[in-house]
Structure 1
């Protein structure tokens, strides 16, 4: 299947309570990494592989995401403002990203499964990408889609090795032989987001705002033996804490952000 025909649905409605330093004033997907919202970084990863249509599931402080994209060209270019004629002229701007962005209000307190269900009316194709709006990875989106197509199931989830939240030490006869700050854990896999779903997977999902993707939708798909795992051994990092925000910003400032390569 042509990646240009695919859409990416991004969950942008959570309150991000563990990152109150930032999310008290803005939705979590709008927390900036390297001067751009993390949401932009996620979209840019998909766009690298040809995806250009995005459905954003808005909720908590969704008006800030709405305003960001409605004012996108003005935010990223030099402008001349005529106060007399109430006119704005954009000057010297490179062509903007060739993206089509659907700003979908999916409810203030709707859970992840309910948001995806409500977004289905905006999804044109029979299958789509989906992910959370608070994590970045150097996932090969093309390989992810191929894995899904080869599996011939209703859904595919990207499985990743999480980063340890603590520094790990290797002790040899009482002496520290190695110290690693927040290393990637080598055993065990977790849900890293970056899904592919057949639209059919949501046919029987209720529009109830309390439906949780991880507790109500995915377990049923597993019971039907309709969930494929795509194993990603590369970079993956969620942004749940202020410390993780600093880490991601440091990677961008040092030119070492794998998801932008």
Structure 2
């Protein structure tokens, strides 16, 4: 099963970092966040990746083209015009990088890589979020229900206080959102059947809008509930929180 990673957005809410590089290449520790995501899938036995590039696509391509020279010891034989990589690589990934357009929406990016996934189900996620999702259990769940798409559902963040407001716009109560009122949101980490791509109209289609909404109406969308660790990297604060977890030596998403 292939893994498709959406990595083409501008990352405007993390502009402190993304002025100079695409968000998937923003480091957590000494490695880009996309590396952490790929390691999560690889730990489940999935090592064939399709990366949907867009903003600063050349930098993502360069990262993987130069992966061995930047991450492993090398011996350069100048007289023989040959480079020798020392030691066996821990990553044995196949990585297909596709420039899916600068302004293409998420759905359009998926539609553009349809030929790279063929006629088999594939995993799909965003290039800016980490989780300790059980990938094998997610795939098994998808195979068990027969629907076109499975989305990993996560509890909505409970960091916002709730205001109870009367008709005169007076706040009658301020309270934190209890766990049983949190609801569920899209956490990424999808499993998708190729037929679901037919729900995407064109480049300007957002995967999270018309396609998922219609899939839900058609009874073709299932949710895999995940109550464990999940953390998007939308802002500099998010990046610093993930960085601190990694440096602590107890990053919840590390399963390799």
Which category describes the TM-score, using the shorter chain as reference length?
A: 0.7 to 0.9
The normalised TM-score by structure 2 is: 0.88
| 2:102 alignment partner, SS class | coil
Query: Residues 166 and 78 of structure 1: is their aligned pair in 2 closer, same or farther, counting only changes over 3 Å?
Result: farther
Q: CA RMSD in A?
A: 2.2
Match of 1:194 in 2: 189
Match of 2:28 in 1: 33
Alpha-carbon distance in structure 2 between the residues aligned to 1:25 and 1:184: 39
1:150 counterpart (141, 144, 160): 144
Paired with 2:115 and 2:180, the residues of 1 have a C-alpha distance of 38
Select which of 9, 33, 37 maps to 1:14: 9
1:88 CA drift (Å): 2.8
**1:245–1:167 Cα change, 3 Å:** farther
1:60 aligned counterpart, secondary structure: coil
Contact 1:161 1:185 survives alignment (8 Å)? no
Contact persistence 2:158–2:182 (CA under 8 A): no
1:218 to 208, 212, 217: 212
Partner of 2:48 in structure 1? 53
Structure 2 gap ranges (5+): 163-175
Could you tell me how far apart the structure 1 residues matched to 2:136 and 2:151 are?
Answer: 14
Contact 1:11–1:133, Cα closer than 8 Å, also in 2 = yes
Alignment of 1:1-261 (within 5 A): 6-82=1-77, 86-91=81-86, 93-165=87-159, 187-206=182-201, 208-261=202-255
Measured at CA, do residues 217 and 85 of structure 1 come closer, stay the same or move farther in structure 2, by a change above 3 Å?
A: same
SS in 1 for 2:253: helix
Cα distance between partner residues in 2 of 1:117 and 1:223: 21
Query: How far off its partner does 1:11 sit?
Result: 0.1
Partner Cα separation in structure 2 for residue 26 and residue 106 of structure 1: 17
Q: Shift of the alpha carbon at 1:163?
A: 3.5
Cα-to-partner distance string for 1:233-261 (whole Å, 9 max, x where unaligned): 10000000101101101111111111113
Relative to structure 1, the CA distance from residue 103 to residue 244 in structure 2 (aligned partners, 3 Å threshold; closer, same or farther) is same
TM-score, scaled relative to structure 1: 0.86
Tell me how far apart the structure 2 counterparts of residues 142 and 88 of structure 1 sit (CA, whole Å): 37
1:189-247 deviation digits (Å, cap 9, x = unpaired) = 110000011101113533x2111101121011011011001000100000001011011
Give distance in 1, aligned partners of 2:26 and 2:179. 24
Out of 185-194 and 155-164, give the one that drifted further: 185-194
SS in 2 for 1:44: helix
Deviation at 1:187, TM superposition (A): 2.1
Instruction: Name structure 1 gaps, 5 residues minimum.
Output: 1-5, 169-179
For the structure 1 residues 185 and 60, does the alpha-carbon distance in structure 2 shift closer, same or farther, using more than 3 Å as the test?
farther
